[in-house]
Amino acid sequence: MTNEFIHFEKISRHTWQNLHRKTNPPLTEAELDSIKSFNDKISLQDVTDIYLPLTNLIQIYKRAKEDLAFSKGIFLQKESKKQPFIIGVSGSVAVGKSTTSRLLQILLSRTFSNASVELVTTDGFLYPNQTLIEAGILNRKGFPESYNMELLLDFLDTIKNGQDYQIPVYSHEIYDIVPNEKQEIKAADFVIVEGINVFQNPQNERLYMTDFFDFSIYVDAEVDNIESWYLDRFKKMLSLAENDQTNYYYRFTTQSDEEVMAFAQNIWKTINLVNLLDYIEPTRNRAEIILHKAENHEIDEIYLKK
């Protein structure tokens, strides 16, 4: 075990799945298929073995948070106001964060009766391409400086105070922020914030996004596996773009497979891998829990902060 995991408890899948009494997952195979990213693999068995115990754990944290808020209210002699329970989900590009987040959204809304659960991806907080071009950092898209961190922190602060917020919308099809479109985020019972940068410190270094989280998850895997998932995803993106000239990936559909894969490999090596090793992975131990995936996308180990 490396020093980095010194304050984590390592739990095998086998041990973890027995921490929760066996119940049927509150969603169908079809629903699971509809939420998983198109190159991700996840089964109802994973839901039962991994995500139901995880939902149980989140329940424990939520109760503890409410108890603390109540006691603090008594101490301060004022009524504590209801705040959303905010969950951060981080990890590399192509590691399966979105699937984990969408699955949690369903599980939480069905485990906590009538709970409202909002899901936000930090892609919406990327600067528009034009802004990145003007700053000369379009090739650094996804790196810390390509995000409007002030806006992101303002969003978290507003939501934490129980107020709704409108955020920009990002589209992978056009590879840019959608002009004049906003997504209304309600101060729900749960707000899941998913993105490669959610554990990173903002440029001003004074406030961490993690300060706003009540629970945080890092989805982890070996670098070689993530790379092959990324390349696989890139190929699938191309097949989706074949008949759509407005799609960012359409431009690659006229190239040979060799050219396309060389291009994708280069993007992985010069951008995504660098971002992962320099900025994403170093924040891993800020998570409350690390879900480690094996080559077949199955979660084989869990690290829980002691």
Question: Binding site: residue ranges?
Answer: 91-98
Binding-site residues for ATP sit at: 91-98
Question: Three-state SS string across the chain, please?
Answer: CCHHHCCEEEEEHHHHHCCCCCCCCCCCHHHHHHHCCCCCCCCHHHHHHHHHHHHHHHHHHHHHHHHHHHHHHHHHCCCCCCCCEEEEEEECCCCCHHHHHHHHHHHHHHHCCCCCEEEEEHHHHECCHHHHHHCCCHHHCCCHHHECHHHHHHHHHHHHCCCCEEEEEEECCCCEEEEEEEEEECCCCEEEEECCCCCCCCCCCCCCHHHHCCEEEEEEECHHHHHHHHHHHHHHHHHHHCCCCCCHHHHHCCCCHHHHHHHHHHHHHHHHHHHHHHHHHHHHHHCCEEEEECCCCCEEEEEEEC
